[in-house]
Amino acid sequence: MIKWSGIKISVHPFFVIIMLASVLTGHFLELIALFTIVFIHELGHVFAARCFGVQVLAIQMLPFGGVAEMEDTSHLTARREIAIALAGPLQNILLIGVSLLLHVCGLWEGAFFLYFIYSNLLIALFNLLPILPLDGGRYHKP
């Protein structure tokens, strides 16, 4: 566990097994890219939450995604809750935009470029599904 700016950042132990498997199968770079994409996605939630005065307790990186743990957000308006939820997928859209800009400038081409674009798109769209605990499941206030 690491503590950064008052936020505990932890990686699930099972992730180590997945990392070893990725080395054995030759997909380590893809796993690290995916891990980084998910982490940046979670940082989007953290930034938005902090903008609205919500304390972020931890970021947990799990084998199949990440979670930003926050203090109780029931006091937030629906708009602020939605803004925090959309901040994660927005990071994926920004990463796609930067990637496309690098591609247009001739600085990034090939299979890994496409993997990076598709991974960001998949993570953004998957997180918008209206299912808890995904971002899309947080668009309404009870």
Over residues 84-135, the pLDDT tens digits come to 999 999 999 999 999 999 999 999 999 999 999 999 999 999 999 888 778 8
| 142 in any annotated domain | no
Q: Exactly one of 42, 69, 71, 81 is catalytic; name it.
A: 42
| 6 in any annotated domain | yes
CA dihedral 13, 84, 53, 94 (to 10 degrees): 80
| 47 in any annotated domain | yes
Residue range 6-29: average pLDDT?
A: 92
The dihedral through the CA atoms of 15, 122, 79, 4 has a sign that is: positive
Structurally, the chain folds into a number of domains equal to 1
| 55 in any annotated domain | yes
Mean pLDDT across the chain: 91
- State yes or no: pLDDT of 33 exceeds 80: yes
- State yes or no: pLDDT of 13 exceeds 70: yes
| 40 in any annotated domain | yes
pLDDT at 16: 83
Domain encompassing residue 20: 2-71+79-135
Residue range 44-71: average pLDDT?
A: 93
| 141 in any annotated domain | no
| 140 in any annotated domain | no
Q: pLDDT higher for 62 or 40?
A: 40
The whole-angstrom separation of Cα 42 and Cα 36 is 10
Concatenate the DSSP letters of all residues of 65-106 into one string.
EEEEEES--TTS-HHHHHHHHHHHHHHHHHHHHHHHHHHHTT
| 131 in any annotated domain | yes
pLDDT at 142: 45
Name the amino acid, one letter, at 93: I
Active site residue 42: yes
Q: Take residue 22 and report the two structure tokens written for it.
A: 């990725």
